[in-house]
Chain A
């Protein structure tokens, strides 16, 4: 029965993946969209937020300077910017702003608001917090020649700058309010976005209603939206099944998808996409025998990623075999080249034989260690269980240690672990972001392997400054090969995002990141 079920799911999925048909309809106005969110934002300040639990309820209240085209990721389009240009030397960005934009309190939006917002992000004052200062570290000055023009001058060329301006986190705030109180956005919601803030009932729900003076003609379509916080996975899926909510936008496990499809059939639509989230094993190179590259590589070789991806994709939200960059991303290594890298061969027998040989050479044939994993069922636990099973097959016995999340983070940061299942999710494909897991620990706050490898750092800097795509690819290949051979940190299986929505929910678009496409501007209900 499960097999038959999976088959039918596969068929439904295939049908559901055909886009565009629904969009041919004329959008209808009205209605309340109810959706589930699996966690809750602590406070309301975009600049200090890190979680999708923030984006999903809060993003509809705000606009950003640029945004990613919902239908055409990773194309960048204007949000509050009408147009923009980049000087020939790449050091000046000039934005022309839209003129009919108002904040929810009725005050007009001008270039001053943009300046105040970015000043707050790059150099917060008065007790305000900003956690993405680094992204704008290259900015020298922000000028406002007139009410609707903003000029950013850079100290150094930065290839990621446009992507930065499209970041979903950089909500534009009102300069007047920030002047009164730099911490105003922590407890108040005042933006220019399609929806006004109505209420946040702690632990329960979040409501936004249509902003009648929204600057995009005829938008938003919805009268209101209600984000319902449901932390328990089963409760969330049950709510979706019962139609209490029409969607949950972070992502479901394949099991949830199958369950919903079998219960609701063609009442729902399944959206799937590779996800810019990687699961990696990080070895603590300060602990023996993980200071030995042979041991680390052996453990990487033992993992049958291809078969694992296939099997795990049925039960966990992972599916794609890839190296340091998301499989499918234009700069990522294609599969046939990937297979030549250690740990990615399709001949698992040969790999395991080599792994055993390496362990023997290193004198640790009967290796025993603890794998520290995050205590979150999806996808960490299944992947952890899978890895332990893989290592068992080369005679390595591994104990599974799943401390709760904050202890897990503290252990990773404090080097209080042997091997850890670590992860990284980014809002956008960008080698500068994804490679940060692999460069030397003293340069990257998120590489917990405590390894120093200057060759990786050099290659990282080289690719960052390389504007020619083909040349950049070459450097990235070299980086990847070195990183996987040294194996301080090894990619396991990349995530796969599955979102299930009820059919009447229209105008929402899937993307490889759960941080994107959540302003709900173009979403409507067919009812």
Chain B
């Protein structure tokens, strides 16, 4: 098991390095640069000399390999550099927004789990009945409705009925839980629906599978009343894949937040990402992509470990 763990850990390094190279090159291939954008965005007569000076200041006049090495050596000692746009440390920019995004993601996860597990179980227990069908339709619809559109409809509804919109600026939950929740519950619901749809489907199918096992069939044969017991048996065995899906979706949620944060004007990682990409703020985008990729890879790694721990065959593959 230890060897497997170390192997998998070592495998993460080339993947992360690959992500680094890819994002570095992708960014430099984008047309336009941050300096032109900054000084010419609103017209105005800025001389080419000023633009050149600014490029030198940001190190953009260095050869590519030099820029890459500088970045990598910085990363190696945990230094992400400074944002090319604001001049503030990258880590500061990210951490000030991470709390909000993480909270939305966690709330969405809780919502999704609360909805998905009972619904998925119900659907499986009443397979091929109208209960199952309704739940399935609910779940497939969750995959179909764009979360940003759902967000727009929510705001529209709130504005038209209460002439009220969620608060505009973020208040940490430990300062004022009410204000905090009244701002973040809506985006959490908007992204949570899709999330719960994925998890519902997974719960349903894994429980169905578990229900095929012999001991369950026996339990079932005893009578309808036993279904509750069955549900408990089945649940415990079905948890693993469901937890996996919830974990992976959590990693994907950062992506899902990109558009939804725009709609709700949330000052989170997703909005930051769109802004920094449109500004070609290389240092920021690089750091954000690395962050999300690492997060994703680590979650995958944990999932793999969990499976390996439960299924020895995997370790020797």
The listed residue (B30, B88, B169) touching A205 by CB distance below 8 A is B169
Would you give the shortest CB distance from A255 to chain B, in whole angstroms?
A: 15
B129 within 8 A of A: no
The answer to whether B267 touches A235 (Cβ under 8 A) is: no
The interface residues of chain B lying within 8 Å CB-to-CB of A446 are 43-45
The listed residue (A50, A203, A238, A405) touching B155 by CB distance below 8 A is A238
Q: Which one of A1-9, A126-134, A144-152, A217-225 is at the interface?
A: A126-134
Contacting B at CB under 8 A, from A233-249, are 234-236, 238-239, 241-242, 244-245
The interface residues of chain A lying within 8 Å CB-to-CB of B159 are 238, 241-242
Known: A42-B87, A129-B53, A203-B96; 6 extra A-B contacts, CB below 8 A, are: A131-B39, A203-B93, A242-B159, A242-B164, A406-B279, A425-B43
The answer to whether A445 touches B87 (Cβ under 8 A) is: no
How many residues of A sit at the interface, in one of the four size bands?
Answer: 35 or more
Would you give the shortest CB distance from B15 to chain A, in whole angstroms?
A: 29
8 sample A-B contacts, Cβ–Cβ < 8 Å, listed by A number: A42-B38, A129-B57, A131-B50, A133-B50, A204-B169, A236-B265, A410-B36, A446-B45
The answer to whether A406 touches B37 (Cβ under 8 A) is: yes
B233 within 8 A of A: no
Give the residue among B40, B97, B278 with the most A Cβ atoms within 10 A: B40
The answer to whether B50 touches A129 (Cβ under 8 A) is: yes
B271 within 8 A of A: yes
Per the bound structure, the CA–CA distance linking A419 and B30 in Å amounts to 22
The answer to whether B42 touches A232 (Cβ under 8 A) is: no
Would you give the shortest CB distance from A332 to chain B, in whole angstroms?
A: 19
Would you give the shortest CB distance from A500 to chain B, in whole angstroms?
A: 16
The interface residues of chain A lying within 8 Å CB-to-CB of B40 are 50, 409, 413
Mark B156-187 against chain A: 1 for CB-CB distance below 8 A, else 0.
Answer: 00010001110111100000000000000000
Q: Output the nearest chain A residue to B164 by Cβ-Cβ distance.
A: A242
The answer to whether A404 touches B278 (Cβ under 8 A) is: yes
B7 within 8 A of A: no
Q: Output the nearest chain B residue to A229 by Cβ-Cβ distance.
A: B267
The interface residues of chain A lying within 8 Å CB-to-CB of B278 are 404-406
Contacting B at CB under 8 A, from A28-60, are 42-43, 50-52
Would you give the shortest CB distance from A492 to chain B, in whole angstroms?
A: 15
Would you give the shortest CB distance from A99 to chain B, in whole angstroms?
A: 35
Per the bound structure, the CA–CA distance linking A235 and B264 in Å amounts to 7
The interface residues of chain A lying within 8 Å CB-to-CB of B34 are 406
Per the bound structure, the CA–CA distance linking A463 and B47 in Å amounts to 23
A424 within 8 A of B: yes
The answer to whether A407 touches B53 (Cβ under 8 A) is: no
The listed residue (A52, A134, A205, A410) touching B42 by CB distance below 8 A is A52
Mark B127-147 against chain A: 1 for CB-CB distance below 8 A, else 0.
Answer: 000000000000000000000
The answer to whether B43 touches A424 (Cβ under 8 A) is: yes
Per the bound structure, the CA–CA distance linking A157 and B143 in Å amounts to 69
The answer to whether A232 touches B86 (Cβ under 8 A) is: no
The interface residues of chain A lying within 8 Å CB-to-CB of B165 are 238-239, 241-242, 244
Using A129-B54, A239-B168, A244-B168 as known contacts, say yes or no to A203 and B97 having CB atoms under 8 A apart: yes
Q: Output the nearest chain A residue to B272 by Cβ-Cβ distance.
A: A203
B263 within 8 A of A: yes
Per the bound structure, the CA–CA distance linking A403 and B37 in Å amounts to 13
The interface residues of chain A lying within 8 Å CB-to-CB of B63 are none
The interface residues of chain A lying within 8 Å CB-to-CB of B42 are 50-52, 425
Q: Output the nearest chain B residue to A242 by Cβ-Cβ distance.
A: B165
Q: Output the nearest chain B residue to A53 by Cβ-Cβ distance.
A: B42
B255 within 8 A of A: no
Would you give the shortest CB distance from A253 to chain B, in whole angstroms?
A: 17
Mark B15-55 against chain A: 1 for CB-CB distance below 8 A, else 0.
Answer: 00000000000000011111011111111111110100110
The interface residues of chain A lying within 8 Å CB-to-CB of B271 are 203, 231
Using A42-B87, A186-B87 as known contacts, say yes or no to A131 and B57 having CB atoms under 8 A apart: no
Per the bound structure, the CA–CA distance linking A127 and B42 in Å amounts to 24
The listed residue (A43, A50, A51) touching B87 by CB distance below 8 A is A43
The answer to whether B36 touches A406 (Cβ under 8 A) is: yes
Contacting A at CB under 8 A, from B34-82, are 34, 36-48, 50, 53-54, 57
Contacting B at CB under 8 A, from A154-170, are none
Q: Output the nearest chain B residue to A130 by Cβ-Cβ distance.
A: B50
B285 within 8 A of A: no
Would you give the shortest CB distance from A220 to chain B, in whole angstroms?
A: 23
B190 within 8 A of A: no
The answer to whether A411 touches B93 (Cβ under 8 A) is: no
Would you give the shortest CB distance from B169 to chain A, in whole angstroms?
A: 5
The answer to whether A406 touches B33 (Cβ under 8 A) is: yes
The listed residue (B33, B41, B164, B167) touching A50 by CB distance below 8 A is B41
Per the bound structure, the CA–CA distance linking A38 and B260 in Å amounts to 18
A18 within 8 A of B: no
The interface residues of chain A lying within 8 Å CB-to-CB of B93 are 202-203
Would you give the shortest CB distance from A310 to chain B, in whole angstroms?
A: 26
Mark A244-281 against chain B: 1 for CB-CB distance below 8 A, else 0.
Answer: 11000000000000000001000000000000000000
A396 within 8 A of B: no
Give 10 nearest A-B pairs by CB, closest first: A406-B32, A410-B32, A235-B265, A203-B267, A407-B31, A424-B43, A406-B37, A242-B165, A407-B32, A204-B267
Contacting B at CB under 8 A, from A187-239, are 187, 201-205, 228-232, 234-236, 238-239
The answer to whether B87 touches A187 (Cβ under 8 A) is: yes
Per the bound structure, the CA–CA distance linking A52 and B279 in Å amounts to 17
The interface residues of chain B lying within 8 Å CB-to-CB of A133 are 47, 50
Would you give the shortest CB distance from A106 to chain B, in whole angstroms?
A: 27
Per the bound structure, the CA–CA distance linking A61 and B152 in Å amounts to 36
The answer to whether A50 touches B96 (Cβ under 8 A) is: no
Mark A392-428 against chain B: 1 for CB-CB distance below 8 A, else 0.
Answer: 0000000000011111111101000000000111100
The interface residues of chain B lying within 8 Å CB-to-CB of A410 are 31-33, 36
Per the bound structure, the CA–CA distance linking A14 and B88 in Å amounts to 46
The interface residues of chain A lying within 8 Å CB-to-CB of B38 are 42, 50
Would you give the shortest CB distance from A308 to chain B, in whole angstroms?
A: 22
Q: Output the nearest chain A residue to B267 by Cβ-Cβ distance.
A: A203
The interface residues of chain A lying within 8 Å CB-to-CB of B47 are 131, 133-134, 445
A436 within 8 A of B: yes
A444 within 8 A of B: yes
Per the bound structure, the CA–CA distance linking A228 and B43 in Å amounts to 24
The interface residues of chain A lying within 8 Å CB-to-CB of B53 are 129
Per the bound structure, the CA–CA distance linking A411 and B31 in Å amounts to 8
Per the bound structure, the CA–CA distance linking A205 and B169 in Å amounts to 8
Would you give the shortest CB distance from B165 to chain A, in whole angstroms?
A: 4
Give the residue among B50, B93, B278 with the most A Cβ atoms within 10 A: B50
The listed residue (B30, B33, B86) touching A43 by CB distance below 8 A is B86
